[in-house]
Structure 1
Amino acid sequence: MNVLSEQELHYLAMNIVGKDLETKGFEFLSVNSKPKKNPQFVCLKDKKIHFIIVRAVKYPEDPNLYDKNLVEKVKDHANKFNAITYYAGVALANADDYNKPIIKNQKYIVDYHGIIKV
């Protein structure tokens, strides 16, 4: 049984958010896949810079709840670039049993509501 690590869950969340951003016409300027290095995405859309913070959470955590201190720190940095800051929370759960860990190559459930302007 190969349980996904925190890093792998973060990569999965980034993949989900990245695909969403692509479909919405965001152009990637910078991608940082380290969980504690923020923002994860710096994008361009409509001639504006966008900073996107990505966080993977496990069920039953609410993917839309975020660390206000972290967001303020990123917003302060974004303001120096006239950038808009967003938060993208992705909740992940084992499809067979929400209380079990997510296993490599097995089905999982995603709770993602898109990016939230913060």
Structure 2
Amino acid sequence: MSLLTEQQLHNLAMNLVGKDLEEMGYEFLAINSKKSKNPQFVATKDKKLIFVVVRAVKYPENPVLYDEQLMQKIAKHAVTFEAKTFYAGVGIANSVNYDLPVDSEEDYVLNYSGLIEIK
């Protein structure tokens, strides 16, 4: 049994959100894969800038709930750059049993509802 570290879980979330942004036509200006550095993605599309904060959220926590204070701080910073701010929470659970930790030797499920705009 090899449990995934917080950084590995974060990387799974980053990959999923990154693919989603690419599919929506965004170009990346900056990517920061450290969980402690925000935002994780700075991207542009049609000359519009976005900041995206990514979080890997372990079951049973709800991936659409976010740290309001942190997100308002990022949103305030984004205004300086005329950018929009988004939160991307990715729920991650062990597919065999949601109550078990996520293990590299077992399948996992991802719960991602898309970007949530912070206003």
How far 1:60 sits from its partner (Å)? Answer: 1.1
One-letter amino acid of the structure 2 residue matched with residue 39 of structure 1? P
Instruction: Please give the root-mean-square deviation of Cα atoms over the aligned residues, in Å.
Output: 0.7
Q: Residues 8-58 of structure 1: CA distance to partner in whole angstroms, max 9, x if unpaired?
A: 100110001001111010100000001010000000011110000000010
One-letter amino acid of the structure 2 residue matched with residue 19 of structure 1? K
Structure 2: gaps of 5 or more residues: none
**Equivalents in 1 of 2:99, 2:87: separation in Å?**
25
- 1:59 is matched with 59
Q: For 1:85, what is the secondary structure of its paired residue?
A: strand
Within-5 A mapping of 1:9-88: 9-88=9-88
- 2:92 is matched with 92
Runs of at least 4 residues off by over 4 Å: none
Q: For 1:103, what is the secondary structure of its paired residue?
A: coil
Q: TM-score, normalised by structure 2?
A: 0.97
One-letter amino acid of the structure 2 residue matched with residue 68 of structure 1? E
Q: For 1:117, what is the secondary structure of its paired residue?
A: strand
**Equivalents in 2 of 1:106, 1:23: separation in Å?**
28
**Equivalents in 2 of 1:64, 1:78: separation in Å?**
21
Q: TM-score, normalised by structure 1?
A: 0.98
How far 1:105 sits from its partner (Å)? Answer: 3.9
**Equivalents in 1 of 2:69, 2:36: separation in Å?**
13
**Equivalents in 2 of 1:105, 1:24: separation in Å?**
32
Q: Percent identity?
A: 55
